[in-house]
Structure 1
Amino acid sequence: MIQIAIISDIHANLIALNEVLNDIKNRSIHQTYCLGDLVDFAPWGNEVIEKIKNKGIPCLLGNHDERIAFDIPIVPLVHHDQKETANRLIAINHSKTEIAAANKNWLASLPYNLELTYRINEVTKKILLVHAGLLSNDTYIYESDLKNDTAKELKDKGIDAVIMGHTHLSYIQNHSNVLFVNSGSVGRSRETDRKATYCILTITEKGIEAEIVKVDYNINEVAQQIYKSDIPDFYGDFLLNK
């Protein structure tokens, strides 16, 4: 049996990240992968990047990381209202100013996806890690979306499971013998409880099983630190469900 932890969408929330990493350590899981989006919306963008770097956690390039690393223009999203669009512009521009040049360079070096191959006895299992979709860092794949074409493409490549983030909504779904998992968000969950969320994969010769883990952290402290920073209060209110 092999267990790995998958984290995603920390969004500069160092307090949530620390609690999740402690939870992983307490479970004696020795492999952790990150699906990206280390920056934006909380005050600790540099600290989060440096923690992931220093711990040697393999990490993907999320869409927010990409925007900061390459100074990509900020384009409004169709699912955001006028208020969120305005606050998002301020928050991302804040990251563009605050993230250190060395950390931007490190983000720019990250891969878009990782394919993991595990062999247990005579059985091989392949897992694809992506930030959002197979071809785009801006694709939203929800639990309710049809996955016939995606499942076929993955099966043709011999992939047994695909793990993603980006939507900040966790789920586990089997489709045509392919396991689809959204690991949720560590630092900016859109789920009602706002808890830090990640997933654990258990790989055996019989197959791959996924578990969604929710971790308590001091959400109020994060919100208060956002209020004290130049990041819009909108993001503190979001965490407190205001």
Structure 2
Amino acid sequence: MIQIAIISDIHANVIALNEVLKDIENRSIYQTYCLGDLVDFAPWGNEVIEKIKNKGIPCLLGNHDERIAFDHPVVPLAHHDQQETANRFVAINHSKAEITSENKKWLAGLPYNLELTYKINEVTKKILLVHAGLLSNDTYIYEADSKNDIAQKLKDKGIEAIIMGHTHLSYQQKHSGVLFVNSGSVGRSRERDRKATYCLLTITEKEITAEIIKVDYDIQEVAQQIYNSAIPDFYGDFLLNK
């Protein structure tokens, strides 16, 4: 049996990240992967990047990481209202100013996806890690969405499980023999409890299974630090479900 932890969407929330990494360590999990989006919306973008770097956690390039690394323009999103759009512009431009040039260079070198192959005795198991989708870091794949085309493409490559983030909503489901898992968000969960969320994969000769783990952290402290920073209060209110 092999177990790996998969984290995603930390969004500069180092307090949540610390609690998740502590939980992973307490479970004696020795392999951790990150699906990206280390930056934006909380005050610790550089600290989060440094922690991922220093711990040697393999990490993907999230859409927010890409925007900061390559200074892509901020554009409105169709599913955001006028208030969130205005606050998003301020928050992302804050990251562009605060993230160091060294950390931007590190982000720019991150891979787009990772295909993992594990061998247990004579059985191989293949897993694909993506930030959002197969072809785009801006794709939203929700639990209720059709998985027919994706499942077929994965089966053609012998991939038995795909793990993604981006939506900040965790789930797992089987479709046409392929396990689809959204690992949720460590630092900016959209789920009602707002807890730091990650995925624990268990790989055996027989199958790949997933468990969604939720971890408590001091949400009030994170919100207060957002209020004390140049990041819009909108993001502190969000964490407190205001």
Q: Give your verdict on TM over 0.5.
A: yes
1:1-242 superposed matches below 5 A: 1-242=1-242
Give CA deviations for 1:110-147 in whole Å, capped at 9, x if unaligned.
00000000000111000000000000000000000000
Separation in structure 2 between the aligned mates of residue 103 and residue 235 of structure 1, nearest angstrom = 23
Unmatched 5+ residue regions in structure 2?
A: none
Query: Percent identity at matched positions?
Result: 85
> How big is the alpha-carbon RMSD for the aligned residues of Structure 1 and Structure 2?
0.2
Deviation at 1:64, TM superposition (A): 0.1
Q: Structure 2-normalised TM-score?
A: 1.00
| Alignment partners' CA distance in 1, 2:3 and 2:121 | 16
Corresponding pairs, count? 242
Q: Normalising by structure 1, report the TM-score.
A: 1.00
SS at match of 1:132: coil
| SS of equivalent to 1:226 | helix
Task: State the SS of the aligned residue for 2:128.
Answer: strand
* Alpha-carbon distance in structure 1 between the residues aligned to 2:103 and 2:174: 37
Q: State the alpha-carbon separation in 2 of the partners of residues 212 and 7 from structure 1.
A: 10
CA–CA separation in structure 2 for the residues paired with 1:119 and 1:177: 19
SS at match of 1:65: helix
- Structure 1, unaligned runs of 5 or more: none
**Distance across 1 between alignment mates of 2:139 and 2:56:** 27
Q: Which amino acid is the alignment partner of residue 51 of structure 2? A: K
Distance (Å, rounded) in 1 between the aligned partners of 2:153 and 2:117: 17
User: How big is the shift at 1:83?
Assistant: 0.2
- Partner secondary structure for residue 193 of structure 1: coil
SS at match of 2:217: coil
What is the SS of the residue equivalent to 2:18?
A: helix
Shift of 1:183: 0.0
Deviation beyond 2 Å, 4+ runs, structure 1: none
C-alpha separation in 2, matches of 1:225 and 1:68: 22
Q: What secondary structure does 2:166 align onto?
A: coil
Amino acid at match of 2:165: G
Q: Residue 80 of structure 1: SS of its match in structure 2?
A: coil
How far does residue 54 in structure 1 lie from its aligned partner after superposition?
Answer: 0.1
Query: Aligned to 2:66, what secondary structure does the other structure show?
Result: helix
Distance 1:157 1:118 in 2: 15
C-alpha separation in 1, matches of 2:77 and 2:216: 30
SS in 1 for 2:125: strand
Letter in 1 for 2:107: L
Which amino acid is 1:123 matched to? V
